[in-house]
């Protein structure tokens, strides 16, 4: 029953009963109390802005009219009913036109109780929907903001295999390209010229994220998210504990505008986003819950512009569970802007796919994408000495800002100066030897046969069709090569995964467990953006991931993962990673 209609009915009933003249003294006193309560409630609704004074006056006016009309109908029906009920008097028949007071009291109390509960429920529902009380307590602009966040505490152990290769050389097989570029060359990098392949590590880490969503206008919203972590690391928001009391860095992880356009039936057919945003492309799930980090780490934010077009094929006007639609997403993202150079690095991507919900609540999601990187490869210094002090702007612009490890690298320039008596053979800056044009196929099937327990199967396959052995060989000859032996084609990556557990393990008692096998060849994907945990980050790795989630209370859950991986090519380099997390969200 609608609240306003209920109030009108109550007023009409009061006027009718009073006007009919059939009440006794006790009943009149109760009706006066009810009338006073009803009038006070209407006045409070006017005061809080739910009703206008004009609406309240119209309610009483309409109630008077309805009561008069209802009174006439009641009298007419009563007369007809009484005449029909009396009828001809039959011999020996005794009629008692009297209802005992205790019966009338029971009926009156029952009606009053039922009416009071209906009115109370309607008022509470209406108040929650329209936010009664907040209008006077807070300004209107506060309703446009939505705050969310999460905190994760992690224990992590990294165990290196006993037979791992840890040898040093001028051109090591597992170079630390990030250290070479950021520390100013191989000689400055010292022992860090190679990745750690022999020393175990244990550490405690924390991740803190705080997000704000703002409704700006109809269909337009802004999103801002702050996150902990290293500003130079795009694929991790973890803060390692034990920095001698140094304060955590809190950086701007996301900042974007998003416009959603709906059809007349409420279907969101268009989404356009610009700024620093979440991954706009479908991957087979989310973090630790059916997700694939084969191409993109889940902590990676995209900078640029994207748009998604959707076409509805089903009856539901939604884009969530149970939807039946096809979609197309396109985006353009600047990777690295080069001052005083036209060699800016960009990522252009497109994806088409389908979401299909079945009548038995099973769900199928599919997407095929193409990602094209431009100006991503190293441009070696071809000067007579090849030293970094003779670099052109194009040489410097081709140096990646972030590397994890695994991709074939080429030396951009040598350490030292052009007038050194002996020219250094150590690389001073390194870059990518291969181009990257990636085809990526994602598929996920969610079975609800044992609902609320779901079984989910997912797969992800990626291939770098931009790898050219001749170009890679030329880059190695010009500047020297790191991280590879023969220039062979290692351009495939794939993952298979199975999940079993609660559809929503964030609720108290929710759980799930998952098992995945992953293989990422050396130049299949960009090592800077792939999973930062598997094989301690990067490519050229294969192995298993086993994990589970369990929710202690709502929005507080435990996660444990074991990641075991080894290299696909090269000297032995095996890594086991164990992670135990305490997760909260709000």
Residue 353 pLDDT greater than 60, yes or no: yes
Using CA atoms, how far apart are residues 188 and 528, in angstroms rounded to an integer? 22
Q: State the DSSP code for 193.
A: G
413 contacts 444 by C-beta, under 8 angstroms: no
515 contacts 497 by C-beta, under 8 angstroms: yes
Give the number of other CB atoms < 10 A from CB of residue 305. Answer: 18
**What string of DSSP letters covers 276-311?**
EES--S--SSBTTBB---SSS-TT--EEEEEEEEEE
Q: State the DSSP code for 254.
A: E
Render pLDDT for 276-291 as a digit per residue (tens, 0 to 9). 999 999 998 666 666 7
- pLDDT for residue 169: 67
pLDDT band at 5 (very low <50, low <70, confident <90, very high): low
- The rounded radius of gyration (Å) of the Cα atoms in the chain is 35
250 contacts 227 by C-beta, under 8 angstroms: yes
First to last CA, the chain: 34
Spatial CB neighbours of 545, under 8 Å, sequence gap ≥ 6: 497, 514, 515, 516, 517, 518, 534, 561, 562, 563
368-391 mean pLDDT:
94
411 contacts 388 by C-beta, under 8 angstroms: no
Residue 115 pLDDT greater than 80, yes or no: no
Q: What is the mean pLDDT of the chain?
A: 84
- pLDDT for residue 503: 85
278 contacts 253 by C-beta, under 8 angstroms: no
Render pLDDT for 549-586 as a digit per residue (tens, 0 to 9). 999 999 999 999 999 999 999 899 999 999 999 999 99
Spatial CB neighbours of 454, under 8 Å, sequence gap ≥ 6: 446, 447, 448, 499, 500, 501, 502, 503
Render pLDDT for 259-270 as a digit per residue (tens, 0 to 9). 999 999 899 999
Taking the model in full, what pTM does it have? 0.77
Using CA atoms, how far apart are residues 275 and 513, in angstroms rounded to an integer? 35
Q: Could you give the percent of the chain with pLDDT greater than 90? A: 56
Render pLDDT for 450-494 as a digit per residue (tens, 0 to 9). 888 999 999 999 999 999 988 888 876 655 556 545 578 999 999
- pLDDT for residue 481: 53
State the Cα angle at 548 between 547 and 550, rounded to 5°: 160
Residue 132 dihedral angles phi and psi, to the nearest 5°: -60, 140
pLDDT band at 249 (very low <50, low <70, confident <90, very high): confident
- pLDDT for residue 89: 52
- pLDDT for residue 97: 54
Complete domains list, the chain, with CATH: 3-137 (no CATH), 143-196+205-585 (2.40.160.10)
131-146 mean pLDDT:
68
Question: Nearest CA to 314 among 281, 350, 367, 363?
Answer: 363
Render pLDDT for 385-404 as a digit per residue (tens, 0 to 9). 899 999 999 999 999 999 99
Spatial CB neighbours of 220, under 8 Å, sequence gap ≥ 6: 257, 258, 259
- pLDDT for residue 19: 47
345-362 mean pLDDT:
95
């Amino acid at each position: 029953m609608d609240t306003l209609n209920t109030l009108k009915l109550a007023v009409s009933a009061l006027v009718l009963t009073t006007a009919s003249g059939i009440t006794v003294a006790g009943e009149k006193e109760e009706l006066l109390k009810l009338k006073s309560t009803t009038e006070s409630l209407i006045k409070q609704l006017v005061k809080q802005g739910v009703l206008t004074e004009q609406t309240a006056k119209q309610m009483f006016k309409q109630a008077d009219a309805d009561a008069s009309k209802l009174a006439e109908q009641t009298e007419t029906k009563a007369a007809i009913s009484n005449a029909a009920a009396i009828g001809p008097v039959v011999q020996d028949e005794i009629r008692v036109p009297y209802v005992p007071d205790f019966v009338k009291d029971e009926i009156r109390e029952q009606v009053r109780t039922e009416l009071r509960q209906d009115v109370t429920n309607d008022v509470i529902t209406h108040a929650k929907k329209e936010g009664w009380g907040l209008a006077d307590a807070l300004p209107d602009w506060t309703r446009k903001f939505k705050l969310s966040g999460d905190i994760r505490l992690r224990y992590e152990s990294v165990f290196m295999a006993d037979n791992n290769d840890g040898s040093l050389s001028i051109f090591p097989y597992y170079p630390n390209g990030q250290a070479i570029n950021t520390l100013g060359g191989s000689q400055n990098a010292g022992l860090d010229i190679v990745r750690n392949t022999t020393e175990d590590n244990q550490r405690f880490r924390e991740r803190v994220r705080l997000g704000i969503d703002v409704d700006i206008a109809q269909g337009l919203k802004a999103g801002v998210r702050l996150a902990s972590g290293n500003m130079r690391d795009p694929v991790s928001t973890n803060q390692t504990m034990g920095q001698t009391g140094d304060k955590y860095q809190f950086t701007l992880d996301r900042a974007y505008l998003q416009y959603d356009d709906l059809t007349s039936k409420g279907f969101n057919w268009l989404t356009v986003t610009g700024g620093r945003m979440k991954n706009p492309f479908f991957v087979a799930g989310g973090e630790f819950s059916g997700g694939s980090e084969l191409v993109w780490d889940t902590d990676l934010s995209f900078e640029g512009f994207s748009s998604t077009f959707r076409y509805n094929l089903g009856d539901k006007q939604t884009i969530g569970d149970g939807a039946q639609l096809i979609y197309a997403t396109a985006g353009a993202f600047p990777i690295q802007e080069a001052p005083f150079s036209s060699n800016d690095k960009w990522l252009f991507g497109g994806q088409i796919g389908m979401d299909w919900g079945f009548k038995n609540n099973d769900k199928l999601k599919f997407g095929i994408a193409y990602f094209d990187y431009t100006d991503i490869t190293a441009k070696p210094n071809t000067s007579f000495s090849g030293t970094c002090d003779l670099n052109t702007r194009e040489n410097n612009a081709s140096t990646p800002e972030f590397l994890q490890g695994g991709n074939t690298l080429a030396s951009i320039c040598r350490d030292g100066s052009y007038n050194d008596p002996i020219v250094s053979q150590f690389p001073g800056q390194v870059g990518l030897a291969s181009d990257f044009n990636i085809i990526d196929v994602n598929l996920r099937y969610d079975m609800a046969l044992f609902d609320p327990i779901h079984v989910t199967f997912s797969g992800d396959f990626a291939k770098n069709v931009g790898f050219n052995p001749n170009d890679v060989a030329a880059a190695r000859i010009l500047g020297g090569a790191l991280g590879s032996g023969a220039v062979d084609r290692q351009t495939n990556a794939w993952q298979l995964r199975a999940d079993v557990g609660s559809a929503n393990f964030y609720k108290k008692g929710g759980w799930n467990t998952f098992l995945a096998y992953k293989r990422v060849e050396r130049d299949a994907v960009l090592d800077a953006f792939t999973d930062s945990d598997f094989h301690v980050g990067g490519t050229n790795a294969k192995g298993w991931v086993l994990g589970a989630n369990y929710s202690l209370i709502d929005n507080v859950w435990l996660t444990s993962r074991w990641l075991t991986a080894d290299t696909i090519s090269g000297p032995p380099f095996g890594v086991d990673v164990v992670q135990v997390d305490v997760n909260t969200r709000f």
